[in-house]
Amino acid sequence: MRPPGSARGPRPTSVARVPGIDYDVLDTLLGYALRRAQIAAFDAFYRATAGHGITPPRFTALVIVGANPGLSQTVLGRVLGIARSGAMLLTDWLVRRKLAERRPHPEDRRSWGLFLTLRGESLLADLKRTVRAHDGQLGGTLTETQRRTLLRLLRQLAE
């Protein structure tokens, strides 16, 4: 049993509102609503991936490497929005678990091409299923139309 919040980074903070507290202006801010919603989403993600040691950035990395085989660590870092040194540590983790491997880049001997192993492909397929399922339940009380609307509005916000 993993003690909560130790092995996989900061544990998603509780989303529950505290009764009797006045939240004042927070209730009118899109930013605060986003934060609360993301905590709920983290929660769903952790339920989906319990026991795999998978975090959101690691899942993202698996998906990105899977869909863009041969990309470099620098590009992976850029996609994830982290520094090169961080992309390296993340790649190290994937390689250590034998989920991905570094192959020499055919045209540039400074960089690696990243590829999923068979094991990585297989885990990714599993993860995609469960993450998608839990992500679907995330909007448990949302209708399919509302869900699509939300997704569209969020994309518009982030563009």
| Residues in contact with DNA by the rule CB under 7 A | 3-11, 13, 55, 57, 72-74, 81-91, 102, 108-112
Query: In 3-state terms, what secondary structure has residue 86?
Result: helix
Give the pair of three-digit tokens for residue 19.
């009764």
Q: Which does 9 bind (CB under 5 to 8 A by kind): a copy of itself, DNA, none?
A: DNA
In the numeric block, which tokens belong to residue 52? 């795999």
Residues 120-159 binding a copy of itself (CB under 8 A) are 128, 131-132, 135, 138-139, 141-142, 146-147, 149-151, 153-159
- Phi first, then psi, for residue 7 (nearest 5°) are -80, -15
Residue at token pair 């899109």: 30
Taking the least distance from each CB to a copy of itself, the nearer of 104 and 150 is: 150
Candidate residues 22, 106, 109, 118; the one interacting with a copy of itself per rule CB under 8 A: 22
**CB atoms near residue 36 (< 10 Å):** 14
